Each structure stands twice: as structure tokens, then as C-alpha cells.
Amino acid sequence: MKDTLTFSLIQTDLAWENPTSNLAMLETKMNGLVGKTEVVVLPEMFSTGFTMQPHLYAQTMDGDTVKWMQALSKKLKIIIAGSLSIKENGQYYNRLIWMLPNGQLGYYNKRHLFAYANEHQHYTPGNSRSIAQINGWKINLQICYDLRFPVWARQQPTANEAAEYDVLLYVANWPDKRSHAWSHLLTARAIENQCYVIGVNRVGTDGHQLYHSGNSCVIDAMGETLYQCAHSEDITTITLHKAHLQQVRANMPFLNDADSFLLIP
């Protein structure tokens, strides 16, 4: 594992169901991160906002937005992570894409669809977790409402080590009126899984007139908040340290005592 890993979090307002405007805005923001970071994280459904009209805005994996991610990742030499509405085999998915500078990608389909906003009526749930890797670091990719389901994020020990991953990453469109839950659940996930947690949320009012305060944050394995920002657009770059993570796990090897379980989607 490389000693450090640097993330940039983009907390931003999103133009409602306007991919052209959002991609232009995000590209301008990311151009300023050249040479400063390794991974850029965008909010959930960064090209449209939390749309329930995938029949109008979903793209295929060879569509313009994925190609935009591919070209920009290559140009800036950074990994880009963020979710968008994807159409595949006649189904729609809220899909988090992990785009590498070499053009390769991984992805995660949101497992827990937000029935309170009828997301389950428009999208198909994913059926597997996805853990990305970079320089020996392992990043568990999740989306918004997944945060409320701790079993889906729970570390599953491997044959050689107790920790399955090092960073738990959430991209979100999480409204301000439930921001208390957002902040506390992110902290809980960090403590119980002895990992770094990164949550990237949008700000501003969406097309449903829901206000989002952001509260994007980075939390360490002890539950300490390393970064948090509310009510304004912000770009922050933060470096995570392997030594700190290893020290926490060595001093308090709680994962060794965890219950074994079988996760059945």
C-alpha cells in the first residue's frame, strides 16, 4: 500500500436536469486540480441532479457523459468518481463510475433505492458491492441511501486480514432536513468499520424544491472529522495516511472480534 492517498471533494450546486451545463461547470472546477490530487469525487447524479426521469436523461456506457469522464480523466491524469443515470439491457441504474486515466473503469450500481422519492419505481437495484483499488488502497463505493444500511457497508474479513477495505466512499444528494442523520451515520460507519469515510453531497435547491446543505466530510477511523463544509460550494483536497489507519487497527483490533456473516443481496 502506498503511504498516502489524496482525494479532492467537489461540493457544488447542480443545474436541474441539465447535463451540458453541469459537465461544463464541473470540468472548469476539475481543471484547477491538475497535479494536486489523485481522486476527484463528484456528487450523486452529478450530470442531472436526482432525476426520476431516466427515460429522458439516462445514458449508455458509451454515451457522452461516460466519454467525457474518460477524456477528462486521461487529460488531467486523475481518477474521477461520481454517479449518473445509466441505461443498460433495458434497465436503468443509478451507477457510480470509477474512471481511471488509462480509460479503464469500474462501477457500482446503487443497491438501496430511495422508495420515499419513488427511486425504486424508475431504477433497478444493484446486487453486489464494488471495491476499487489504487496503489494498494481499497475503496468501497456506495451511494447516498446505502448509508442507512450498515450491513451493506460492514467489513467482511478476508483470509489474510480483518479489514476488507480502507476507505468507504459515499456520493449523495442528501437533503438538508435530514443532515443530522447524514453526519452521524457517516461517523458511525467510520468507527464500526475502522476506516476512513468520505461523503460528498451537493448543495442548493433541486427541481423538487428540496434544499441541500452539503455537509460533505472526511472522517477518520476514530470517528474524528477531518473536514466538513455546509451551505456553500467548496472544493477541498485532503491526503489520507496509511500509518494512521494501521495504528488505529493495531491499537484497537476490534475487527478481529467481529461476527462472521454471509451477505445475501
pLDDT digits (tens, 9 = 90+) for 197-217: 999 999 999 999 999 999 999
3-state secondary structure 40-107: EECCCCCCCCCCCCHHHHCECCCCHHHHHHHHHHHHHCCEEEEEEEEEECCEEEEEEEEECCCCCEEE
| Cβ neighbours of residue 197 closer than 8 Å, sequence gap 6 or more | 167, 168, 169, 170, 186, 187, 189, 190, 217, 218, 219
With CA atoms as reference, report the closest residue to 142 among 227, 221, 83, 89.
Answer: 83
242: domain CATH number? 3.60.110.10
Whether residue 216 is contained in a domain is answered as yes
**Annotated catalytic residue, options 38, 44, 195, 229:** 44
Q: Is 44 a catalytic residue?
A: yes
Mean pLDDT across the stretch 109-120? Answer: 97
pLDDT at 153 over 80: yes
Contact 225, 187 (CB under 8 A): yes
Whether residue 265 is contained in a domain is answered as no
User: Domain total for the chain?
Assistant: 1
pTM value is 0.97
**Annotated catalytic residue, options 38, 119, 144, 217:** 144
Q: Pull the grid cell for residue 122.
A: 424508475
**Annotated catalytic residue, options 110, 119, 195, 217:** 110
Whether residue 264 is contained in a domain is answered as no
Give me the residues paired with residue 238 across strands.
Answer: 7
Q: Is 144 a catalytic residue?
A: yes
The pLDDT, as a whole number, for residue 1 is 66
Whether residue 263 is contained in a domain is answered as no
With cut-offs at 50, 70 and 90, classify the pLDDT of residue 159: low
Return the sign of the alpha-carbon dihedral for residues 197, 202, 204, 205: negative
Under DSSP, the state recorded for 116 is G
pLDDT at 13 over 90: yes
| Cβ neighbours of residue 98 closer than 8 Å, sequence gap 6 or more | 79, 81, 105, 106, 107, 108, 130, 132, 139, 141
Instruction: Give 167-196 pLDDT, tens digit per residue.
Output: 999 999 999 999 999 999 999 999 999 999
List the domain range (segments joined by +) for residue 67: 4-257
Q: Is 110 a catalytic residue?
A: yes
Mean pLDDT for the chain?
96
- The rounded percent of the chain whose pLDDT value lies above 70 is 99
With cut-offs at 50, 70 and 90, classify the pLDDT of residue 38: very high
pLDDT at 14 over 80: yes
Whether residue 95 is contained in a domain is answered as yes
Mean pLDDT across the stretch 3-30? Answer: 98
What is d(CA 222, CA 129) in angstroms, rounded to the nearest whole number?
A: 24
Give me the residues paired with residue 5 across strands.
Answer: 240
Give me the residues paired with residue 133 across strands.
Answer: 138
